[in-house]
Amino acid sequence: MKSLSPTLLVVAMTAAFPAAAQSNEELLKELQALKQRVNELESKLQQAPAAPAGQAQWGMTPEQSAEFNRIAAKTEAAEDNMIAQGLKGLKISGYIEPTFVYNQRQNRAGFQFLNQQSDGYYYDTSFMGAASLDLLKETDSGTLWHLTLAPNRGVGAAIDGSSIIQEASVSVALTDDQTRFIAGQIPDWSGYEYQQPTLNPFTSHNLLYDFTLPVGYTGAGLDIKRGPWWIRTALANLNSAVHDAGQKSPAWAFRTDYGKDEFSGAGFASLIGTAPVFDVDGNVEKRTLAILTEVDGYFTRGDLTVQGQLSYGQQKSAAITPDANGNRRDAQWYGISGLVGYMFTPRLQGLVRADYIYNRKNGGGLFGYSQADDRNGIGPDMNGGNPDEGANRYAITVGGKYAFNENTTVKLEYRLDGADKAVFYDVKNGDYKKLNQMLATSVVVAF
């Protein structure tokens, strides 16, 4: 039997598998063009004069009518095809953020991108150098299905060191679209700063974000919006996808936001639940009650942006320095962070951020940091000072971001981290310092 020519084979495959022959983007563009053509033909039909009595009212020539019917049929087929492929109500977005970092005390400078997070969480790595793919699907019933993938630098990686899941959640409308049941793995919603580099003006994060807040929740709760109010609450595992043996109590997380107007707003977040206390090897020693609260707010008007946050936290038996009998004591801290941004041009924004954490009690200790950390600068004086006094930390960051185009943003920052005690280990000299300098730049490309 004679074989089909390549041209006929391509035509046949295109007819049989239209989804494979065209990308989703091409289908959307074609659908938009078809709808525009239909609107033009309908407009001509409405503007056409009435036909004389006894004559068929085409409104269009027979050729135009045939074209209209062909376009209408193709439009319906394209819409059916999108529905059949599950593309209706689907939004796909993402970003990548290659980053370059210089750290004085770590004696290193170079690119960091998608590096493993299992080696620990530090202010010069945190969630910097990430890549993400975000899938958001809304069904006809109003249910939202949300999956965000972020290898190595996301919430999942910070929780267990290997998961690529940043967020995996569902949101089901109950009485209406403004009252929803939520469940799954949800990133923490505390503070004025966002994890995503598309929303965070700096490359690094503030001290309160890095050292006083949870990473994420795995559980279920409610999402309620009423006028200017937005309330979210959940019972969930804290920074954990599954509870260990003997662990039964969930944490309670809560946040409420009030949008006064289009220029300003404020929020309050709290957490009550058991959190891990780590030993010197990084293993969970036990879990004790932690209470976290914070208030934050923003003001944006014209070229000026101002944001701020106040935080308080405590955790039972989580301080770094034990008592004379070797028993762990309670950790307690206070913190403040503020950011000011100014748009010098529609593309260029100058930025200044200042952070401070008071952490003196019982040798120090912050949320998730129950051991001294000479890279992050947490704990008592490393040069033989009073072990019962923890170092108070501060950071001043100046920089800017430039929108190269609608998809590409370039960021540059200089950051000075300090403490009132020598808590930063100098890798090069082998001693401890009160100050550390960091320079960071990144390119964020999003779609």
Residue found by looking up tokens 């004085």 in the block: 104
What is the pLDDT confidence band of residue 46, given thresholds at 50, 70 and 90?
low
| Mean pLDDT to the nearest integer, 161-189 | 96
Domain that holds residue 329: 172-446
User: What is the pLDDT at residue 6?
Assistant: 36
343 within some domain = yes
pLDDT mean across residues, the chain: 90
> Mind listing the pLDDT tens digit for each residue in 291-313?
999 999 999 999 999 999 999 99
CATH number of 384's domain: 2.40.160.100
Residue 157 lies in a domain: no
What pLDDT was estimated at residue 271? 98
What pLDDT is stored for residue 427 in this prediction?
Answer: 98
Q: Is residue 144 part of a domain?
A: no
Question: What mean pLDDT do residues 343-352 have?
Answer: 98
314 within domain boundaries:
yes
pLDDT over threshold 70, residue 51: no
pLDDT tens-digit series, residues 84-95: 777 789 999 999
Residue 154 lies in a domain: no
Task: Answer yes or no: is 374 within a domain.
Answer: yes
pLDDT value, residue 3: 39
Residue of higher predicted confidence among 160 and 254: 254
Q: Which of 362, 395, 361 is nearest to 377 (CA)?
A: 395
Q: Torsion over CA of 373, 378, 381 and 387, rounded to 10 degrees?
A: -90
Number of domains in the chain: 1
35 falls within a domain: no
Q: What is the pLDDT of residue 81?
A: 73
pLDDT of residue 11: 33
Instruction: Output the pLDDT for position 246.
Output: 87
Inside any domain, residue 78 = no
Per-residue pLDDT at 158: 92
Q: What is the pLDDT of residue 57?
A: 47
Residue 78 has pLDDT above 80, yes or no: no
